[in-house]
Amino acid sequence: MTSPVFEPWNDPEAKPLIEFQNVTKRFGSFTAIDDLTIGIYEKEFFALLGPSGCGKTTLMRMLAGFETPTEGAIFLAGQDMAPVPPNKRATNMMFQSYALFPHLSIWDNIAFGLKRESMPKPDIEARVDEMLRLTRMEKFARRKPHQISGGQRQRVALARSLAKHPKLLLLDEPLGALDKKLRQDTQFELMDIQEKTGTTFVIVTHDQEEAMTVASRVAVMDNGKIIQVSTPDRIYENPNSVYVADFIGEVNIIDGTVTPNGPDSYSVAWKDGQPPLNVISPTAFSDGQSCHLAIRPEKVTINAEKPADVDNVVQGKILDIAYLGNISTYHVELPSGVVIKAQSANTRRISRRAFTWEDTVWLSWTATAGVLLAN
Amino acid sequence: MRRFALIAAPYLWLLALFLVPFAIVLKISLSDYAISIPPYTPQFDWATGIGAFLEKLDFENFIWLTEDDLYWKAYLSSLKIALISTFMTLLVGYPMAYAMARAPAEWRATLMMLVILPFWTSFLIRVYAWMGILSNEGFLNQFLLWTGMISEPLTILNTNTAVYIGIVYTYLPFMILPIYAALERLDDSLIEAAEDLGCSRLTAFWLITIPLSKTGIIAGCFLVFIPVIGEFVIPSLLGGSDTLMIGKVLWEEFFSNRDWPVASAVAVVLLLLLIIPIVLFQRNQQKQEEADT
């Protein structure tokens, strides 16, 4: 039995919950968001990923209503959001600093939004208890925010922002203040809660691992523009530009010029005196066009002897080894001075490692391992 | 040892300049009026010894304070004026502190300077200046007559209104500074969070800003209330004959009547009355420190 695939962005019938239409936001002469158009679908877990200052937080604050677009329009469920103030929006936000009210107990923090709706008291109590259960904070209901740990505060902030059944939950770097182990646990918790509640989540983060783990789709942003929107695996395997390839994970970028030599097949001339590389690319390139070949280190195999029958092979000397425990990254210098990174799993104990510094090795990869990029 | 010396210094200072004078005042308050120099009896005499000296002290003056209604009326009136003027100072000071805390960061130091600036001029000169503004021929009346808002000059000077104006003006910085300190620490994202959860600007102010600046409000109120109860200069310069404040009564008892024992009794009772709000104030400070940790 296969469960239906959740891919509303591939369904031409589906209508996005949120639509940005040619949105531009300027602060004085600084353009934070530059003519941006995007649709986010219901029940999506959408990640905005980018370096600090790329406009991702501004984008989120416009959704919450704290900023208004200079140009363009934002629609939530078909309604233009421009005239709607933050307190009338069906969105809730989880702040980076959590913004828990220090003078109120955990219980009152979670009940805060519900009380504003003049909900009957028993209903408020039931909803707060439900939220406390969801975030496993029942025991701490009577405490004040400064009496609980950072991870617990983060859960309270989540409970508070979910309490009002928002159509859209905004998470601004929600896990930034947590240490790595706790962050990883919380990421899965977030996904669980998102699935259970069926709320649409938009998360802002600069941590690519976090975005890849939690999100159904990732938007990579730079300088107020969205460079690529796709599922995590496509962002990783099929980046549309050197920027995206470089931002997500480790990558080798080889600059060269292409010559077509078959259907979808190209030969890339890249360094004088080196044989051209063979690449298969679904995107068409013209003869003599300059290009960048992006190859992930884990797709490069490292061999002691020259392998036979491979698409690409180069010889080099090990310059550096980065030992990460489970894997090692080898920095291999080619005679031309280019350094190529190759990764291999440490299936043997370190004392029995096959390669060491200054060893001459052969690197190989298949024609489909890399992605040929025009820019 | 050095630590002991460090702590001893302020305590010795307090002992010499507060406790010893207070003991003397307490002693005078238990003495009797006498036409002599100094104008009270008994005086300590080595010949008769401490026993005979203590025997002559009594609570006569304190009983007198309860018998003459001038005194408790003056205490009550001081209390009333202090309460009302503290409240008015809060009403004026809070918006100013709020505006300062919300001002762009590069402006805040300047605004703070402006609040403290009046202290660079003598307090007496500033109160005299108010006499020039508030008198019948003063600037305020001249301005109002010129604009045509009034046809007869208003009588403000030598009324309780002038006293309130003087007190609010003088004590405003003591209200503004602690409230400003509390508001400046306030995280803007808390207000945004409140709005995000459905509050209007006004309810967010009422439910978040006010409670979180509560310690500042309380500190400011005590800093104004405590000195205003014993205030003497402002009521005597700006107030009229019907302005009854205990500070003024004390001054008249001491300098006009030259009745040092009764004046001392008035002072001792005033001090005891002030200890209550001072203790409350300290408990507020303590609570705040606990909340901060």
Continuous segment of H or E residues that includes residue A332: strand A327-333
Reported confidence tier of residue A157, pLDDT bands at 50, 70, 90: very high
Q: Do A101 and B194 touch (CB under 8 A)?
A: yes
Range of the domain at B272: 69-292
B254, part of any domain: yes
CA distances (Å), B149 to each of B136, B138, B165, in order?
A: 15, 15, 20
The residue with tokens 């300088």 is A223
Rounded mean pLDDT of A180-199? 85
| DSSP-assigned letter for residue B20 | H
- Is the pLDDT confidence value at A3 over 70? no
Q: Do B212 and A93 touch (CB under 8 A)?
A: no
Residue B152: count other Cβ atoms within 10 Å of its Cβ: 9
Q: Which of residues 117-176 of A touch B (CB under 8 A)?
A: 117, 146, 160-161, 164
- Tell me: the pLDDT tens digits for A171-189? 998 887 778 888 888 888 8
What is the C-alpha to C-alpha distance for residues A275 and B115, in angstroms, rounded to an integer?
77
| DSSP-assigned letter for residue B159 | S
Q: Which residues of chain B have pLDDT under 70?
A: 291-293
Q: Coil, helix or strand for A172? A: strand
Q: Which of residues 51-90 of A touch B (CB under 8 A)?
A: 64-66, 85-89
Structure tokens at B214: 């509560």
Taking CA–CA distances from A113, the nearest residue in chain B reads: B197
Rounded mean pLDDT of A317-335? 89
Q: Give the residue among A168, A221, A236 at the shortest CA–CA distance from A198.
A: A168
What is the C-alpha to C-alpha distance for residues B283 and B38, in angstroms, rounded to an integer?
40
The residue with tokens 């104030």 is B281
**Chain B residues lying within 8 Å of A160, measured CB to CB:** 197
Q: Coil, helix or strand for A373? A: strand
- What is the per-residue pLDDT for A91? 92
Among the partner-chain residues B189, B192, B212, the one whose CB lies closest to the CB of A102 is: B212
Among the partner-chain residues A87, A113, A161, the one whose CB lies closest to the CB of B200 is: A87
Would you say A372 and A268 are in contact if contact means Cβ atoms under 8 Å apart?
A: yes
Percent of chain A whose predicted confidence (pLDDT) is above 70:
99
What is the C-alpha to C-alpha distance for residues B256 and B151, in angstroms, rounded to an integer?
40
Tell me the nearest-neighbour CA distance from B203 into chain A, angstroms.
9
Reported confidence tier of residue A272, pLDDT bands at 50, 70, 90: low
Continuous segment of H or E residues that includes residue B132: helix B123-134
Reported confidence tier of residue A274, pLDDT bands at 50, 70, 90: confident
**Chain B residues lying within 8 Å of A164, measured CB to CB:** 197-198
Q: Coil, helix or strand for B258? A: coil
**Chain B residues lying within 8 Å of A89, measured CB to CB:** 196
Would you say B277 and B83 are in contact if contact means Cβ atoms under 8 Å apart?
A: no
What is the C-alpha to C-alpha distance for residues B11 and A161, in angstroms, rounded to an integer?
53
Least confident range from A97-111, A113-127, A141-155, B46-60: namely B46-60
Q: Do A99 and B195 touch (CB under 8 A)?
A: no
**Chain B residues lying within 8 Å of A92, measured CB to CB:** 196-197
CA distances (Å), A32 to each of A171, A176, A179, A248, A358, in order?
A: 19, 22, 30, 22, 48
Mutate to test the interface with B, among A84, A91, A116 (most CBs of B within 10 A): A116
**Chain A residues lying within 8 Å of B182, measured CB to CB:** none
- Is the pLDDT confidence value at A273 over 80? no
Among the partner-chain residues A93, A102, A113, the one whose CB lies closest to the CB of B198 is: A113
**What is the per-residue DSSP string for A257-318?**
EEEEEETTEEEEE-STTSPPEEEE-SS---TT-EEEEEE-GGGSEEESSPPSS-SEEEEEEE
Mutate to test the interface with A, among B185, B196, B290 (most CBs of A within 10 A): B196
Q: Give the residue among B285, B293, B112 at the shortest CA–CA distance from B215.
A: B285
What is the C-alpha to C-alpha distance for residues B221 and B224, in angstroms, rounded to an integer?
5
- Cβ density class A63-88: b for 16+ within 10 Å, e for less: bbbbbebeebebbbeeeebeeeebbe
B157, part of any domain: yes
Residue A264: count other Cβ atoms within 10 Å of its Cβ: 13
**Chain B residues lying within 8 Å of A161, measured CB to CB:** 196
**What is the per-residue DSSP string for A114-145?**
HHHTT--HHHHHHHHHHHHHHTT-GGGTTS-G
Among the partner-chain residues A64, A87, A92, the one whose CB lies closest to the CB of B199 is: A87
- Is the pLDDT confidence value at A212 over 50? yes
Higher pLDDT, A121 or A175: A121
Mutate to test the interface with B, among A58, A63, A89, A95 (most CBs of B within 10 A): A95
> Do the interacting molecules here have an ipTM over 0.90?
no
Would you say A328 and A343 are in contact if contact means Cβ atoms under 8 Å apart?
A: yes
Q: Do A116 and B197 touch (CB under 8 A)?
A: yes
- What is the per-residue pLDDT for B292? 61
What is the C-alpha to C-alpha distance for residues B260 and A279, in angstroms, rounded to an integer?
107
**B272-B276-B279 Cα angle (round to 5):** 120
Q: Do B196 and A86 touch (CB under 8 A)?
A: yes
Q: How far is CA A135 from the centre of its chain?
A: 24
**Pure H helices in A163-291:** 180-197, 208-214, 232-237, 242-247
Judging by beta carbons within 10 Å of its beta carbon (0-12, 13-18, 19+), is residue A374 exposed, middle or buried? Answer: middle
Q: Which residues pair with A343 in a beta bridge?
A: A329
- Cβ density class B99-115: b for 16+ within 10 Å, e for less: ebbeeeeeeeeebbeeb
Would you say B130 and B238 are in contact if contact means Cβ atoms under 8 Å apart?
A: yes
- Is the pLDDT confidence value at A258 over 80? yes
Q: How many CB pairs under 8 A join A and B?
A: 56
Structure tokens at B193: 């969070």
Peptide bond into B38 cis (omega under 30): yes
B88, part of any domain: yes
What is the C-alpha to C-alpha distance for residues A101 and B209, in angstroms, rounded to an integer?
10
Q: Do A93 and B208 touch (CB under 8 A)?
A: no
Q: Give the residue among B78, B97, B83, B79 at the shortest CA–CA distance from B215.
A: B97
- Structurally, how many domains does chain B consist of? 1
CATH number of A8-246: 3.40.50.300
**Chain A residues lying within 8 Å of B198, measured CB to CB:** 87-88, 113, 116-117, 164
**Chain A residues lying within 8 Å of B197, measured CB to CB:** 87, 92, 112-113, 116, 160, 164
Taking CA–CA distances from A103, the nearest residue in chain B reads: B212
Structure tokens at B84: 């009302």
Q: Do B197 and A102 touch (CB under 8 A)?
A: no
Q: Coil, helix or strand for A64? A: helix
- Is the pLDDT confidence value at A1 over 60? no
Q: Do A97 and B187 touch (CB under 8 A)?
A: yes
**Chain B residues lying within 8 Å of A85, measured CB to CB:** 195
Question: Is CATH 2.40.50.100 what the domain over A250-373 is classified as, yes or no?
Answer: yes
B57, part of any domain: no
- Tell me: the pLDDT tens digits for A62-87? 999 999 999 999 999 888 988 899 99
Structure tokens at A174: 């929600």
CB of B210 within 8 Å of a chain A CB? The answer is no
Q: Which of residues 19-48 of A touch B (CB under 8 A)?
A: none
- Is the pLDDT confidence value at A18 over 60? yes
CB of B190 within 8 Å of a chain A CB? The answer is yes
- What is the per-residue pLDDT for B282? 84
- What is the per-residue pLDDT for B190? 94
Would you say B134 and B140 are in contact if contact means Cβ atoms under 8 Å apart?
A: yes
Query: Phi first, then psi: what are they for B122, rounded to 5°?
Result: -60, 140
**Chain B residues lying within 8 Å of A91, measured CB to CB:** 196
Which CATH number goes with the domain that contains B118? 1.10.3720.10
Q: Which residues pair with A169 in a beta bridge?
A: A92, A201
Tell me the nearest-neighbour CA distance from B89 into chain A, angstroms.
25
Rounded mean pLDDT of A303-314? 87
Helix, strand, coil percentages (3-state) for chain B, rounded to 5, are 75, 0, 20
B53, part of any domain: no
What is the C-alpha to C-alpha distance for residues B12 and B4, in angstroms, rounded to an integer?
12
Q: Which residues contact A331 (CB under 8 A, 6 or more apart)?
A: A318, A319, A320, A321, A322, A339, A340, A341
- Single pTM value for the model: 0.80
Q: Which residues contact A118 (CB under 8 A, 6 or more apart)?
A: none
What is the C-alpha to C-alpha distance for residues A198 and A42, in angstroms, rounded to an integer?
8
**Chain B residues lying within 8 Å of A158, measured CB to CB:** none
Structure tokens at A111: 């009940």
